[in-house]
């Protein structure tokens, strides 16, 4: 591919900020972030001005000006914007959740009351359309799942490949006190709650590690087979006592989820995610193997341990995501983006485009994640009954 690789950002808020920062740390590949598009003129102009790039007031114009469109927009926009970029011959980076089920778009529709079998079918059809568009137009579809690239996860990958270890059980969680996204909380925009918005991270990482294990030992991926799930809307429970520390403005989504997956080889994984955790982000994974045990602490880590007696003196110092307070003991992140895998993710994507190879986090991993997520909703609707996961071949 010609260099520099030109990037266009769709979206001008949280995800776009850390993606832009990560592009500026890429080495060995010439990359240029050309511009940004957002439906909000104020947002795109402010983002462009702050970062020295061009603001586009039309999505097609942005796509035509670049080689790659990076979708940092709410999940409900992923499929239409992805398909359109493919039609224009552009490679696409799709943030999590890859896609999903967002209902008919009517104001009175509620995801918590919808039949989850219909949502599973809707989500799978969306995945198929996105993959079909990329194949038809000969472009790459890159799934931006940063947990795949987190250094702690990649160390486990190295161990699995070197020892051909068997993974017996995976236990993982992503939780915190509530998303910063204004779209989160309304199923029509987010495609679900804690399961989709947070559980997708440890779930994708678990699916990825089983894929790595299968390829190392038998030359093919070990894929998920069944799922059991329970969800809860704790902050909408009439018995919940709100003291103002957690986000609670959720219209029709769950804020707690427990997922149990069984893989083709009969081995399990258990994933938790919720909006009920104070004191910062809680992102970790533990792998129990037949020849080792690994705990991957993504955030927080104890590389730095800080005691701060006065809140105000650190008001202009960033410590870690969603910490809540800077007073007392905390674990400041030396480089939160690096520990979370964001620069490594985009480095891999740019090298894939340069060398015309597949990424570690690809469309098929995204497809397995989406199918497992929405099969989990079917299970939760059936009070946790074990449910088959439909997989795309």
Structure tokens at 260: 């149990």
The whole-chain average pLDDT of the chain stands at 96
3-state secondary structure of 236: helix
The domains of the chain are located at 5-144, 146-388
The rounded distance, in Å, linking the Cα atoms of 4 and 7 is 9
Q: Which of 174, 228, 220, 215 is nearest to 376 (CA)?
A: 228
- pLDDT tens digit sequence for 343-371: 999 999 999 999 999 999 999 999 999 99
Task: Tell me which CATH code domain 146-388 carries.
Answer: 3.30.360.10
CA–CA distance from 262 to each of 75, 126, 292, 366, 387 (Å)? Answer: 27, 24, 20, 18, 10
Q: What is the pLDDT of residue 180?
A: 80
The rounded distance, in Å, linking the Cα atoms of 349 and 343 is 10
> Which residues fall within 8 angstroms of residue 135, CB to CB, at 6 or more apart?
none
- pLDDT tens digit sequence for 110-135: 999 999 999 999 999 999 999 999 99
Residue 2: pLDDT band with limits 50, 70, 90: confident
Residue 182: pLDDT band with limits 50, 70, 90: confident
CATH homologous superfamily for the domain 5-144: NAD(P)-binding Rossmann-like Domain (3.40.50.720)
- pLDDT tens digit sequence for 374-386: 999 999 999 999 9
Count Cα neighbours of 368 within 13 Å in the Cβ-side half-sphere: 25
Q: What is the pLDDT of residue 136?
A: 98
Tell me phi and psi for residue 80, to 5 degrees. -60, -40
Residue 336: pLDDT band with limits 50, 70, 90: very high
- pLDDT tens digit sequence for 194-229: 999 999 999 999 999 999 999 999 999 999 999 999
Tokens 């294990």 belong to which residue? 213
Average pLDDT over residues 38-62: 97
Percent of the chain with pLDDT strictly greater than 70: 100
Helices (H) and strands (E) in the chain, counts: 12, 15
Q: Based on the number of CB atoms within 10 Å of its own CB, is 174 exposed (0-12), middle (13-18) or buried (19 or more)?
A: buried
Q: What is the pLDDT of residue 12?
A: 95
CB count, 10 Å around CB of 297?
17
**pTM of the complete model:** 0.96
3-state secondary structure of 72: coil
């Amino acid at each position: 591919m010609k260099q520099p690789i030109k990037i266009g950002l769709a979206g001008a808020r949280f995800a776009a900020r850390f993606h832009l920062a990560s592009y500026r740390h890429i080495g060995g590949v010439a990359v240029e972030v050309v511009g940004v598009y957002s439906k909000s003129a104020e947002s795109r102009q402010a983002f462009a001005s702050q970062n020295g790039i061009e603001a586009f007031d039309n999505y097609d114009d942005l796509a035509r000006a670049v080689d790659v469109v990076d979708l940092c927009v709410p999940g409900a926009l992923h499929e239409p914007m992805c398909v359109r970029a493919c039609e224009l011959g552009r490679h696409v980076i799709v943030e999590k959740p890859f896609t999903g089920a967002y209902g008919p778009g009517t104001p009175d529709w509620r995801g918590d009351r919808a039949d989850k079998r219909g949502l599973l079918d809707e989500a799978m059809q969306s995945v198929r359309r996105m993959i079909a568009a990329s194949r038809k137009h000969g472009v790459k579809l890159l799934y931006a799942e940063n947990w795949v690239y987190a250094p702690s996860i990649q160390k486990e990958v190295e161990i699995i490949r070197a020892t051909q270890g068997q993974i017996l059980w995976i236990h993982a969680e992503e939780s915190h006190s509530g998303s910063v996204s204004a779209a989160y909380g309304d199923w029509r925009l987010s495609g679900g709650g804690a399961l989709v918005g947070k559980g997708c991270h440890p779930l994708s990482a678990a699916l990825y590690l089983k894929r790595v294990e299968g390829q190392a030992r038998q030359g093919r991926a070990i894929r998920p087979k069944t799922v059991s799930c329970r969800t809860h809307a704790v902050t909408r429970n009439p018995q919940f006592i709100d003291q103002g520390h957690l986000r609670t403005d959720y219209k029709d989504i769950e804020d707690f989820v427990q997922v149990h997956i069984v893989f083709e080889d009969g081995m399990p994984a258990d994933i938790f995610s919720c909006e009920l955790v104070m004191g910062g982000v809680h992102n970790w994974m533990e792998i129990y193997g037949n020849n080792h045990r690994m705990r991957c602490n993504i955030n927080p880590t104890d590389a730095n341990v800080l005691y701060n007696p006065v809140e105000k003196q650190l008001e202009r110092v960033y410590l870690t995501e969603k910490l809540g307070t800077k007073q007392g003991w905390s674990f400041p992140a030396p480089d939160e983006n690096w520990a979370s895998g964001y620069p490594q993710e985009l480095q891999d994507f740019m090298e894939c485009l340069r060398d015309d190879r597949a990424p570690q986090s690809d469309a098929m991993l995204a497809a397995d994640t989406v199918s497992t997520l929405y099969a989990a909703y079917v299970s939760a609707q059936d009070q946790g009954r074990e449910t088959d996961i439909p997989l795309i071949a």
